[in-house]
Homo-oligomer: A and B are copies of this chain.
Amino acid sequence: MNTRWLDDRIRYDGSQLRAHWLLRGCGLAGDAMVAFRGPCHVVVAEMADLADLDGPGIAGDDLLHFVWESFAAPDLLLAVHRQRLLAAQAAELLRELAPTVGVRRDGDDLYVGSGKLSISIATCTPVSALVHFAVNATPGGAPVATATLAQLGVDPRRFAEQLLARAAAEQDSIAQARAKVRPKGEWQP
């Protein structure tokens, strides 16, 4: 899996979570994950999670975004597992970078106290699986009580580069583990 930090600020409106945005928008072919910073305002037509349609909206002035597309293993159930594992990794990394602040994962969401630190969705296209995961970098613009990387004293770019590296390493490690295991047979009493 290729990873890349994008220097440009990009306004995330949900249209980036479409097939081949990483190829056509970023020049990355095949399984890849990118990170970038920018405001977030997901338009209703681009909301993938139907639970969000009647919600307060998905928005923020300054988030750190991760977009992940996989063609090699595009199953949606797998994609949701990958999303949860990415959220767990993000929490693990934040606990290392900000050890005195309690970061809590609940499904695909991260919280600090009652403040929501992240947003996320996993979905699929006819040719791939997609994950969006984003954490608030600085306060402002969100329709709910938030927590931010600024509040945790965590540098967004440093966090991004480390999470990109860890997610790629975890996928490599998973592929290795899958290839090194022998199957088991039927239990005999």
Cβ–Cβ contact A179 & B48, under 8 A: no
Q: Does A75 contact B (CB under 8 A)?
A: yes
**Whole-angstrom CA separation of A49 from B29 in the bound complex:** 12
Contact present for A189 and B85 (CB under 8 Å): no
CB interface residues, A 102-155, toward B, < 8 Å: 105, 107-108, 121-128, 130
Q: List, in ascending order, chain B residues with CB within 8 A of A71's CB.
A: 175, 178-179
- The distance from the CB of A32 to the nearest CB of chain B, in whole angstroms, is 9
A154 to B107, CA, bound (A): 24
Given contacts A50-B23, A77-B73, A189-B24, contact A123 B84 (CB under 8 A): no
Given A25-B189, A50-B20, A85-B85, check contact A80 B183 (CB 8 Å): no
Report which A residues bind B (CB closer than 8 A).
15-21, 23-25, 29-31, 46-51, 53, 71-73, 75-78, 80-82, 84-85, 88-89, 91-92, 95, 105, 107-108, 121-128, 130, 170, 173-189
